[in-house]
Amino acid sequence: MSKILIIDDDKAFCDVTVMMLRKLGHEAVAINSLKNISSLVLQIAPDIILLDIEFPDADGIRRLPDVRMAAPDTPVILITNHVEDEYISRVLKSHADYMLHKPIGLATLKELLNRFTKTKALFTDYICFGNYTLDVKAHELKMGDEVIETLTPQECRFMSFLASHPNEVLTSEEINLYVWGDEVGNSHGTYNLKSKFNKIFSRNKNVEIITMNRIGLRLQVLKEQLP
């Protein structure tokens, strides 16, 4: 069981989400304002935080650093009604861990929390694939002892998901849900992530992210290079 903190000024949304989370066996707490947010996060000590982007007198993304300071190791999922590129761009730059679009259904919420819990249990601080090492906690991609790229949370989650399943086909729905927070996801953003990492991997031909038409992606790692 995890303790989930919902920070959203929409009381009806909070009531429904708390009910769903408790139905899934989690402890849920909701607050409707960003006032004294740092002290409240410290007091509640949640395992996961759902943070709305828009408040009548505040901006959830701008207050995200305050939340991070109070709970630096706690995943923060931004929630929003917006699907415009402008908002997606802000989320990507915010260093949040996930994004969910409202309304949030029970199945989506269950799958996301289950996936996060399972993945957190499976992941170590380091994932080795080919000649690379992903430092999950530091968000760093290394080759040997050299840090070749510092990653955003989305980039780290994308790569950690693929690297934990080398040479396996992962569906677009799985990737979208894990990286972007819903099954529809952000195809343009996923394409950009794939392109960025393949550019990095081009220096060493033993690793490549392959598109599986109408299915998803596969992280191809030459068998002789597997850890």
Mean pLDDT of the 123-144 span: 86
CATH class, domain 3-121, is alpha beta
Is pLDDT larger for residue 209 or for residue 101?
Answer: 209
pLDDT tens digits, 137-193 = 889 999 988 999 999 988 988 998 899 888 989 888 888 877 776 555 567 888 999
Question: Which string of DSSP letters, residue by residue, matches 72-131?
Answer: TTS-EEEEES--SHHHHHHHHHHT-SEEEESS--HHHHHHHHHHHHHHHHH--SEEEETT
User: pLDDT value at position 151?
Assistant: 94
User: pLDDT value at position 8?
Assistant: 96
Helix, strand and coil content of the chain, in percent to the nearest 5, comes to: 45, 25, 30
User: pLDDT value at position 88?
Assistant: 64
Distance CA(94)–CA(84), nearest Å, equals 16
Domain ranges of the chain: 3-121, 125-225
CATH 1.10.10.10 fits domain 125-225:
yes
CB under 8 Å to 115, separation ≥6 — which residues?
177, 178
pLDDT tens digits, 48-104 = 899 998 898 888 888 998 998 898 878 888 888 876 666 666 766 677 777 788 888
User: Do the domains spanning 3-121 and 125-225 agree at the CATH topology level?
Assistant: no
Is pLDDT larger for residue 96 or for residue 197?
Answer: 197
User: pLDDT value at position 85?
Assistant: 66
User: pLDDT value at position 182?
Assistant: 59
pTM above 0.75, yes or no: no
Is pLDDT larger for residue 93 or for residue 211?
Answer: 211
Is pLDDT larger for residue 107 or for residue 9?
Answer: 9
